[in-house]
Amino acid sequence: MEATVGDKLLVHGRVVGRHDRTAEIVEVLGEHGHPPYRVRFDDDGHEAVMSPGPDAVVRHKERFEAGP
């Protein structure tokens, strides 16, 4: 997994009834774009340091800015 500042992290809900969450990557703490990442969640503004697992995907900034 590689990301840059401004990319979105989509974390899929792992339990029935838990919704997916999105967060903006505000700092890349690993080397060459690798985790861990400091993220800010879109729904509540909470910031956390994460090393995403297999339930997460990176949506690269240029891709979601381009639109459908």
Tens digits of residue pLDDT in 5-59: 999 999 987 777 778 899 999 999 999 999 999 999 999 999 999 999 888 999 9
- The C-alpha atoms of residue 19 and residue 16 are separated, in whole angstroms, by 8
The SS3 of residue 63 is helix
Residues ≥6 apart with Cβ < 8 Å to 10: 20, 21, 22, 56, 57, 58, 59
- The C-alpha atoms of residue 55 and residue 68 are separated, in whole angstroms, by 23
CA distances from 63 to 8, 13, 58 (A): 10, 23, 10
Give pTM, 2 decimals. 0.81
